[in-house]
Amino acid sequence: MVSTNSSGAAPSVVSGNWQTNKRLATVWDRGVKSRPVAMVYGAVVFATDNRKMYRHMASAVALPEGTSVLDIPSGGGVVFLGLRPGKPLRYVAADISDLMLDRARAEADRRGLDFVEFEKADATELPFKDEEFDVVVSYSGLHCVPDPEAAVREWSRVLKPGGAVKGSVVVRGASFLPDRFINLWVKLRILDVVTPVEEVRRWFRDAGLRVVRTETSGAVLYFELEKPKDRKA
């Protein structure tokens, strides 16, 4: 049986949209990388201040030499805005969409980020070994995944004990207008599963991830998680 999201649409429709709709991929990627556009969009649609997003992303990738990082789903490489050429990291950008990976490769080339690796991957079935990464970053993508709870479990699986997860996700319940926009984006097959904050926190707990810090800004939840060394949340 195929589960459905709140709009009644098969979740795979949304994933497929991001894989085949070049206009959607282009408009989204350009918008999120343009701070003036992102500021207006965030304020109007999600009642959020997207300066928090840029600060959070920059902090997430300010890491020691030799750190292994998985960026999932990477989209067009928006987190690359916080990276610098020659950074001695292992950085893997993974996404199910070839359209987005092509944009991410172009972004990495433009910024001289020759250390970034690229992998086509389903967020719910990652092609990586257990405990392979020190850090997982996931910004503004979990709400486009048909089974976000499975994606969170995969974060935990590929993360080393003591490792960190940092990211953001759109949530319901902030206020009337953002919820109306969320309903619209779901109907348009742009967003998939969008839940209240409490449900997202349950996904984290059930995956064995400890919540270090969360912050809501309008309809966006920012989170910092840790995989305990003893595997107990």
CATH number at residue 113: 3.40.50.150
Residue 6 lies in a domain: no
Per-residue pLDDT band at 95 (split at 50, 70, 90): very high
Residue 232 lies in a domain: no
> Is 9's pLDDT higher than 70?
no
Per-residue pLDDT band at 92 (split at 50, 70, 90): very high
Task: Kindly state the helix (H) or strand (E) to which residue 59 belongs, with its residue range.
Answer: helix 51-60
Residue 107 lies in a domain: yes
> Is 12's pLDDT higher than 60?
no
Distance CA 22, CA 24 (A): 5
What percentage of residues in the chain have a pLDDT greater than 70? Answer: 94
Residue 140 lies in a domain: yes
- For the residues 119-135, what does the mean pLDDT come to? 98
Per-residue pLDDT band at 17 (split at 50, 70, 90): confident
Burial-class residue 127 by CB neighbours within 10 Å (0-12, 13-18, 19+).
exposed
Distance CA 209, CA 217 (A): 22
Per the structure, the count of domains in the chain is: 1
Q: How many CA atoms lie within 13 A of 66 on its CB side?
A: 0
> Is 232's pLDDT higher than 90?
no
Q: Is the peptide bond before 73 cis (omega within 30 degrees of 0)?
A: yes
Residue 35 lies in a domain: yes
> In the prediction, which pLDDT does 233 show?
44
Q: Are 215 and 189 in contact (CB under 8 A)?
A: no
Q: Are 208 and 218 in contact (CB under 8 A)?
A: no
Residue 3 lies in a domain: no
> Is 116's pLDDT higher than 50?
yes
| Residue ranges making up the domain that contains 147 | 11-123+130-226
> pLDDT for 47-56, tens place per residue?
999 999 999 9
- 90 residue type, one letter: R
Which residue has better confidence, 15 or 100? 100
> Is 158's pLDDT higher than 70?
yes
Per-residue pLDDT band at 4 (split at 50, 70, 90): very low
Residue 1 lies in a domain: no
pTM of the model: 0.91
